[in-house]
Amino acid sequence: MLLNAWFPSVQIGNDPAAIRDWAQAAEDLGYEYIEVPDHVFGATARNGWTPRYDAFAPFHETFTTMAYLAATTKTIRISSGVLILPQRQTGLVAKQAAEVDLLSEGRLRLGVGVGWNHVEYEALDCEWKTRGIKQAEQIEVLRKLWTEELVTFEGHFHKYNEVTIVPSPKQRPIPIWIGGSADSVIKRAAKLGDGWMPILSPDDEGKAAVEKLYTYLEAFGRKREEFGIEAWMRFSEDKPESWGITADKWRSMGADMAMLYPMWEIKGVDGQIEILRKFKEVADD
């Protein structure tokens, strides 16, 4: 099972050298991917709704950060984790992703989700209720833009007449993995994705979700060996033994990748690198 590194966007600070040092440490430790989260706006609580992050949590912009990480590393792969696709223009995402993939020499994976923050959707003038069906159409359009010379397409959300994305990405197409654990998301991942990235525990609920995925893959005529599963392991405490146990359980359930998602305060870049070392030590085969 391969291990991926969560980019600590909110806690890493604004020093480019520190970000570089962290990324190079992840590469030196043998991590497969660095995954960069996505938020455009922070928002305050309102009308009974409470955001999961403080309104002033400093999220680095996803594509710009991935480009910088690619430039400061050599072999580690780069991924969005996850890009809230329906609140972005599809053509612009296709262009930005193609550029990062080209400049990283084919190291990009696009992880996408539909998000949980309706306030952010409203601030970006995007429709919240149709985000799932929009994402499905966007994935189809992205692949066309990355692989076809001239794209003509008309759907519910897109109308293109002989448009192109130049330069093209090195990977044609760039892999698209889908995050989320709702039934509709699992079904969409099995039908359209190259992989699935749930935030679940390896308990009865997690096992049921994996079995559901297998059922959908079979229904869509897809082979499990051509589809990836990455477990996002969300923890609120610095307890490496628990991380290792959880990683082993996911490994036994067939996960191809795992990523530690720390939810507690970790001070300084050295502290962030130490977390990478600990996770690698307890979760490696």
pLDDT value of residue 56: 94
pTM for this one? Answer: 0.97
- pLDDT in the model for residue 124: 97
Whether the predicted pLDDT of 151 surpasses 80: yes
CA dist., res. 155 & res. 163, Å (int): 15
pLDDT digits (tens, 9 = 90+) for 103-125: 999 999 999 999 999 999 999 99
Structural domain that includes position 73: 2-283
Is residue 151 within 8 A of residue 143, CB to CB? The reply is no
What pLDDT score was predicted for residue 68? 98
Is residue 133 exposed (0-12), middle (13-18) or buried (19+ Cβ within 10 Å)? middle
pLDDT at position 146 is: 98
- CA distances (Å), 206 to each of 95, 180, 222, 247, 263, in order? 35, 12, 21, 13, 20
How much of the chain exceeds pLDDT 70, in percent? 100
- Tokens 């003509």 correspond to 152
CA dihedral in degrees (246, 243, 181, 92; nearest 10)? -140
Give the pLDDT of residue 67: 98
CB 176 within 8 A of CB 194: yes
pLDDT of residue 256: 98
Rounded Cα–Cα distance for residues 17 and 263 (Å): 24
Provide mean pLDDT across the span 66-91: 98
- The distance from CA 93 to its chain's CA centroid, rounded to whole angstroms, is 14
Q: Domain total for the chain?
A: 1
Average pLDDT value for residue range 60-85? 98
pLDDT band (50, 70, 90) for residue 50: very high
CATH at residue 186: 3.20.20.30
Burial class (CB in 10 A: 0-12, 13-18, 19+), 29: middle
